[in-house]
Amino acid sequence: MRAVFLALLCIVSASWLPAKEKPPVTYTIPLPPKPDFSPLEWLLGEWTGKTTGRAPQGEVRLSVAYDLEKRVLVFREEVAFSATTTVPAAKESWMGILSGDRSGTGFILWTFSDTGFITRYRVTVEEGEVTLNPEGGEQPLPEWLVRRVIWRSGDAELTETVQMAPPKRAFFEYYEAKLTRTSSP
């Protein structure tokens, strides 16, 4: 009986001793590097302007800003075309999210339009010029291609050309616009 009592006493006394605490486990998730947007910084800000040439006349508003701790650039654009004798007035708007590609040396732009199209663009940047080349997407224009070229024509001026290609046809100029910076980031 004494042995049972001693064993029970040891068990009860052990339960009163403070439990040894385990050190907390720390997990580290490596973050991808931030994209180098420095070649695009001239594009940041608010821009407004008008279309040029014979195409329907219109007004263009473009906004480019950093977001998500400078991990993406957000593009927003609205184009409002005036009515002509053959074409009714029209308004188009889209937004895009530009991020670095997997290689870390280029950029990918996903655009979402007010018409429901979702298109992916490969973005190339050369000094003072940004080219958006279509690469498909979740819901691109069926069989049509749209590409954009934006080039810096001055410290506070840029020119944007939008080209379209019907199915199995060459690109044509849809519109060109001259824009002026109205505010910096």
Q: Residue 28 is encoded by which pair of tokens?
A: 């580290």
The amino acid present at 151, given as its one-letter code, is W
DSSP reduced 3-state for 83:
coil
The beta-carbon contacts of 104-112 under 8 Å, at least 24 apart in sequence, are 104/33, 104/35, 107/35, 107/40, 109/75, 110/137, 111/75, 111/137
CB 81 within 8 A of CB 90: yes
pTM, rounded to two decimals:
0.81
CB 39 within 8 A of CB 52: no
Q: pLDDT tens digits for the chain (185 residues)?
A: 566 555 555 565 555 555 578 888 899 999 888 999 999 999 999 999 999 987 678 999 999 999 999 999 999 999 999 988 888 899 999 999 999 988 777 899 999 999 999 999 999 999 889 999 999 888 888 899 999 999 999 889 999 999 999 999 999 999 999 999 998 77
